Amino acid sequence: MEELHNVLVIGGGGREHALAYSLHTDALRLEKQGERLHSLYCLPGNPGMAADGIVCLPGDTLDFPRIREAILAHDINLVVVGPEAPLVAGLRDYVEGQPELAHVRLIGPGKLGANLEGSKIFAKQFMGRHGIPTANFTVVTPTTLEAGIQFLQGQKAPYVLKADGLAAGKGVLIVEKLPEAIQALKDMLEGKHGDSARRVVIEEFMPGQEVSAFALVNGTNYQMLPEAQDYKRAYDGGKGPNTGGMGAVSPVGWFHADGFAEKVRKRIVEPTLQGLQEERIPYLGFIFFGLMRSPSGDPYVVEYNARMGDPETQAVLPRISGLLEAMWGIANGQENGSHRIHTEPSGTVCVSLVSGGYPGAYQKGKRIQLPPVANSHCKIFHAGTSLENGHLVTAGGRVLSVCGFSSRIAEARGLAYGQIESVHFDGMAYRHDIGEGALDSEH
């Protein structure tokens, strides 16, 4: 196997901070064990990463020539892609097309594989072809509106409508009344929700409990990472609009009970990888399985993503070590046994601090009061911050991810919320119930 040199993480949010931090921690451990130091770079990164010793390179995640330049300038041979947009836009395909980058390993699928996330229609039809459990569905385009209405009439409330393409978390509508669902379908097909919604998946509503599961994949070779629960709604008690994620908890107490984790691997993860192989879709990267556990205890796929989750990553990665070796090993075609990710039995509770108004309109540029974190059982990942004249200011809807770690979820929760008391910016908002009532793992 070739030797790992330096590592580049693409992105600049909370997920990328957690990824770079985890890989940096692994690199420092390996250096202590006598390996050369693998430096961590991030493009564009954020001030939190810079404070952790990760070198932030200016640039845009969709500027592929700039990424190429950064790889060559810093002797990088492992690239980890955080967000979906560069994957769906074909970053891997671009890198593979550059002869000078032939030595580079990239964690993230090419355009074809990223379709699992980039096209809901592709994902649903893929699951259909490979017998992977998911909600019944139909595809509607402007020419099949009547058939779409008939399908809706045959469903029970609530009605689930999804835009085909990427829609930054705003592509799913769950509607209570049939006339509203029909109207929403017409609006989507007419382009009122953007071009990505001119093709629509309508599907059956699945009751149950949601969980996010993650695999690091190369072909049919894979390793599971710990699971997490995402809190998607803006307000306490699961009320309010959908967001990118107001917090996350890992582990999820019931995930390993009653053989559920095993069902996920056998019925969902392995058939997915087998299906990709049968369809000759190469896949090296993460697959995020958005799952529903039905009332009878069976797993169903809500959605696939071609990347890790945000904020789930901030809850999952502090629980593991060895991701760097696992990535390098799997990217170089090693079987799983050689570099297993090590999972700590501890738990994480991670709370998103957001700008007032999020997920609607919000202001940026608010000064952030953020004293250093003294407790080794807490960590604050930066999600949307920037430096303005030397001051840390807000630069996004989700600003910070505040995490607490402990063997007991209730204690991890206390640590995270305790840490939040020292943080302030104008308009700061957060949910107060992240991890409330969450059970410790039965595993």
The CB-side HSE value for 90 (13 A sphere, CA atoms) comes to: 6
164 near ligand GLY, rule: CB under 6 A: no
Helix, strand, coil percentages for the chain (3-state, nearest 5): 35, 30, 35
Are 105 and 78 in contact, with CB atoms under 8 Å apart?
yes
* Alpha-carbon 28 to chain mean position: 25
> Which residue, 230 or 325, has its beta carbon nearer to ligand GLY?
230
Are 442 and 254 in contact, with CB atoms under 8 Å apart?
yes
User: How would DSSP label each residue in 315-348?
Assistant: HHGGGEE-HHHHHHHHHTT--GGGGPPEE-S-EE
44 near ligand GLY, rule: CB under 6 A: no
227 near ligand GLY, rule: CB under 6 A: no
> Which residue, 38 or 398, has its beta carbon nearer to ligand AMP?
398
Binding residue count for ligand AMP, defined by CB under 6 A: 12
Alpha-carbon distance 390 to 178, whole Å?
A: 54
310 near ligand GLY, rule: CB under 6 A: yes
Q: Which of 26, 52, 164, 303 binds ligand AMP (CB under 6 A)?
A: 303
Decide which of ligand AMP, ligand GLY, none touches 309; Cβ closer than 5 to 8 Å per partner kind. ligand GLY
> Which residue, 26 or 203, has its beta carbon nearer to ligand AMP?
203
Q: Which stretch binds ligand GLY (CB under 6 A): 42-50, 306-314, 392-400, 403-411?
A: 306-314
Place of tokens 């990553």: 313
290 near ligand AMP, rule: CB under 6 A: yes
Alpha-carbon distance 402 to 152, whole Å?
A: 41
> Which residue, 164 or 312, has its beta carbon nearer to ligand GLY?
312
Query: 44 is written with which tokens?
Result: 């564009």
Nearest in space to 110 (alpha carbons), one of 308, 270, 284 = 284
Question: How many separate helices (H) and strands (E) can be counted in the chain?
Answer: 14, 23
> Which residue, 260 or 328, has its beta carbon nearer to ligand AMP?
260
**Host H or E run for residue 125:** helix 120-129
- Which residue's C-beta sits nearest to ligand GLY? 309
- Cβ neighbours around 376 below 10 Å, total: 7
Q: Which of 203, 227, 312, 325 binds ligand GLY (CB under 6 A)?
A: 312
Q: Which stretch binds ligand GLY (CB under 6 A): 42-50, 271-279, 307-315, 379-387?
A: 307-315
Smallest distance from the beta carbon of 205 to ligand AMP, in angstroms? Answer: 4
**Host H or E run for residue 354:** strand 347-354
386 near ligand GLY, rule: CB under 6 A: no
User: How would DSSP label each residue in 273-289?
Assistant: HHHHHHTT---EEEEEE
348 near ligand GLY, rule: CB under 6 A: no
**Host H or E run for residue 139:** strand 137-140
Smallest distance from the beta carbon of 242 to ligand AMP, in angstroms? Answer: 6
227 near ligand AMP, rule: CB under 6 A: no
Are 62 and 86 in contact, with CB atoms under 8 Å apart?
yes
Q: Which of 44, 86, 171, 309 binds ligand GLY (CB under 6 A)?
A: 309
> Which residue, 26 or 312, has its beta carbon nearer to ligand GLY?
312
Q: Which of 245, 247, 299, 397 binds ligand GLY (CB under 6 A)?
A: 245
| Residue numbers at the binding site for ligand AMP (CB under 6 A) | 135, 160, 172, 174, 203, 205-206, 210, 232, 290, 302-303
| Residue numbers at the binding site for ligand GLY (CB under 6 A) | 230, 245, 305, 309-310, 312
